Amino acid sequence: MKLLRISLAFYLLLCAIQHGIAQDLIQGQSAKKTTKQLAPALITFGDSIIDPGNNNVQKTIIKCNFLPYGMDFVTHRPTGRFCNGRIPTDFLASKLGIKELLPAYFGTNLTNQDLITGVSFASGGTGFDPLTPKIASVISMPEQLEKFKEYQGKVRSILGEKKAAELFSKSVYGVIAGSDDVANTYFATPFRKSQYDSSQYADLMLRGASNFLEQLIQLGARKIAIVGVPPIGCVPSQRTLGGGILRGCAPVHNEIARLYNARLAVEVEKIKKRHQSQNIVLVFADIYDFLYDMIEHPTKYGFEVSNKGCCGTGLLEVSVLCNPLTPTVCTDVSKHVFWDSYHPTEKAYSILSDYIFQKLVTYLEN
């Protein structure tokens, strides 16, 4: 038992050292540009899909700053990204010509250059339902906005009021949340399902999203992309929990996602109309059909497996369940759509990011 304690302590120390080295290397990557710069900064809010490590310093079990997470990252070390490598915001920051990696705002030693080129406030496990972040003990969407205000103050102190205001208006803002509302709050707890049917819960999520966008606009954002909820019923963990013996896509999960996405598309148009005098570029990026097709027809996209994650059995492992003691990691990650039972692989994220970027680029070049 004493030996086990020593081994565990050594492992945790090693993880901490590795994380520190990884952050130093990430800082070096963040200033690099690969293409024509389409925006001065990328600033993002949301959940684990785009959390680059904000949860590392939160008192929550929803974190992944340990191997095998990060095994295919540029440093080959865990950073807190819920993936084997890079996540969508890294790819998008590069495609926008800003920098190669988008850093976390929390728990990192950010330089002035890091700050003025954008950060992520996203927190794995959060959502638009106020109950969702409370259950997971993570950073809520309103709290992310409060930290954005703090960030704005730092940028103003670096650039001055006039240049900072220009940066905030020309930056690209990304928002993605909602999956945890459906999977972890509505279906995994008894609190909401007894109060709301699928349609009513989609409306609850919509109100949260709409309020968030309105506040973001009030804080100076002018170029905003909000990403819809993916086919959450088709991720491996939800297939296992709600897909029956054959582990098909959980239908009710996807029903809420479709309802929310359809209503969000309408709400986005309403918000644009309310702010038409402010030159708002507000884009709804619906990824549902694209990702559903990738899952249903993986070979079209260069994959072989789409109903299991790469980590462990691939049926339920995610976050702390996907760890160095997990019996196995698949031999070829590139064949899998999903890294763990909830999050796509770097390769799948790269393909998805290309799709999202093509949706956005025409708006950004104007």
Tokens of 108: 């990192």
pLDDT-wise least confident of 7-21, 84-98, 197-211, 215-229: 7-21
Of 353, 347, 352, 340, whose CA–CA distance to 68 is shortest? 340
Cα–Cα distance for residue pair 38/362, rounded to 1 Å: 11
Task: Check residue 35 and give its pLDDT.
Answer: 63
pLDDT tens track for 258-271? 999 999 999 999 99
pLDDT-wise least confident of 98-102, 186-190, 201-205, 230-234: 186-190
Residue 59, Cβ density class (10 Å: 0-12 exposed, 13-18 middle, ≥19 buried) = exposed
Residue 9 has pLDDT above 60, yes or no: no
Task: Check residue 327 and give its pLDDT.
Answer: 72
Tokens of 295: 């899952």
Choose between 144 and 25: higher pLDDT.
Answer: 144
Residue 54 has pLDDT above 90, yes or no: yes
- Location of structure tokens 């995610």: 318
Tokens of 126: 């959060």
Residue 328, Cβ density class (10 Å: 0-12 exposed, 13-18 middle, ≥19 buried) = exposed
**Confidence class for position 34, pLDDT limits 50, 70, 90:** very low
**Confidence class for position 69, pLDDT limits 50, 70, 90:** very high
- Location of structure tokens 């007894």: 194
Active site residue 48: yes
Active site residue 319: no
**Confidence class for position 290, pLDDT limits 50, 70, 90:** very high
The superfamily CATH assigns to domain 40-364 is: SGNH hydrolase (3.40.50.1110)
Cα–Cα distance for residue pair 173/268, rounded to 1 Å: 15
**Confidence class for position 18, pLDDT limits 50, 70, 90:** very low
Strands (E), 47-147: none
Read off the amino acid at residue 258.
R
Of 151, 138, 164, whose CA–CA distance to 48 is shortest? 138
Q: Which residues have CB under 8 Å from 90's CB, separation 6+?
A: 52, 100, 101, 102
Q: Quick one: average pLDDT of 306-316?
A: 95
Q: Quick one: average pLDDT of 162-167?
A: 98
Residue 6 has pLDDT above 60, yes or no: no
Percent of the chain with pLDDT over 70: 90
The residue annotated as part of the active site, out of 19, 253, 336, 343, is: 343
Task: Check residue 328 and give its pLDDT.
Answer: 79
Task: Check residue 2 and give its pLDDT.
Answer: 38
Query: In the beta sheet, which residues pair with residue 305?
Result: 336
Q: Quick one: average pLDDT of 328-340?
A: 95
Query: Alpha carbon of 108 to those of 19, 65, 72, 95, 152: distances in Å?
Result: 11, 13, 21, 23, 17
Choose between 324 and 49: higher pLDDT.
Answer: 49
Task: Check residue 143 and give its pLDDT.
Answer: 98
Tokens of 136: 């997971």
Q: Which residues have CB under 8 Å from 318's CB, separation 6+?
A: 82, 237, 309, 311, 340, 341, 342, 343
Residue 118 has pLDDT above 70, yes or no: yes
Helices (H), 219-332: 236-242, 251-274, 288-296
Cα–Cα distance for residue pair 366/255, rounded to 1 Å: 35
Residue 21 has pLDDT above 60, yes or no: no
Tokens of 185: 């709050």
Q: Under the phi-then-psi rule, with left for phi > 0, alpha for psi from -120 to 50, and beta for the rest, what region is 228?
A: beta
Active site residue 286: no
DSSP tag of 315? S
Query: Alpha carbon of 216 to those of 15, 26, 31, 83: distances in Å?
Result: 36, 27, 26, 28
The residue annotated as part of the active site, out of 48, 123, 198, 210, is: 48
pLDDT tens track for 126-149? 999 999 999 999 999 999 999 999
Q: pTM value?
A: 0.91
H or E segment and range at residue 46: strand 42-46
Task: Check residue 366 and give its pLDDT.
Answer: 59
Cα–Cα distance for residue pair 35/2, rounded to 1 Å: 54
The residue annotated as part of the active site, out of 171, 336, 340, 353, is: 340
Cα–Cα distance for residue pair 244/232, rounded to 1 Å: 15
Sign of CA dihedral 74, 79, 83, 87: negative
Task: Check residue 29 and give its pLDDT.
Answer: 52
Burial code (b: 16+ CB inside 10 Å, e: under 16) for 126-160 equals bbbbebbbebbebbbbeebbebbeebbebbbeebe
User: Domain spans of the chain?
Assistant: 40-364
